[in-house]
Amino acid sequence: MLKNFGIKSKNVAIVYLSMLASGMLFFLPIRTLYLEANLFSITNVSIIFAVEAIGIAIFEMPTGAIADLFGRKKTLVLSNLIHLLSLLILYIGGSMPMFIFYAIIHSFARSLSSGTEEALIYDTLKKQK
């Protein structure tokens, strides 16, 4: 079935499906309302989103090196575990410092997975020529 779409490698197909699933942010409006209910202002929610955006920018470069050191598969598993940890922190949260900690952990997990996915696709396609 994947060959019908021009995808020859199982790695590329898995990464594409993973990116598709993670790109569907159906819970994002709910997360915003949850944060607003717990932080009492849209300004505080904006601060959380800004911390997350800055964290992604900061973590993007070092996380590529982590994928090179420990391997792509282990890094993707680690990224998903850290993402689950960030969701647990989001659930437990209730104060601004906890939500900032959530934003930092979540941005690290997102950076870890994005750099690793790109490297995995590059290596796979390079091997296929």
Instruction: List phi, psi (to 5°) of 27.
Output: -85, -5
Higher pLDDT, 56 or 23: 56
The predicted structure's pLDDT at residue 1? 47
Q: What is the pLDDT of residues 45-89, one digit of tens each?
A: 899 999 999 999 999 888 778 888 888 888 888 988 999 999 899
Please state, in angstroms and as integers, the Cα–Cα distance from residue 13 to each residue in 64, 80, 118, following that order. Answer: 21, 18, 13
End-to-end CA distance of the chain, in Å?
A: 21
Please state, in angstroms and as integers, the Cα–Cα distance from residue 53 to each residue in 7, 35, 58, 99, 106, following that order. Answer: 32, 16, 9, 14, 10
Q: What is the pLDDT of residues 82-124, one digit of tens each?
A: 999 998 998 898 889 999 999 999 999 988 888 787 777 777 7
Alpha helices in 8-71 (DSSP H): 10-23, 28-39, 42-70
Q: Which two tokens stand for residue 24?
A: 């569907």
Q: How confident is the model at residue 7 (pLDDT cuts 50, 70, 90)?
A: low
Q: How confident is the model at residue 38 (pLDDT cuts 50, 70, 90)?
A: confident
Q: Where are the domains of the chain?
A: 26-128
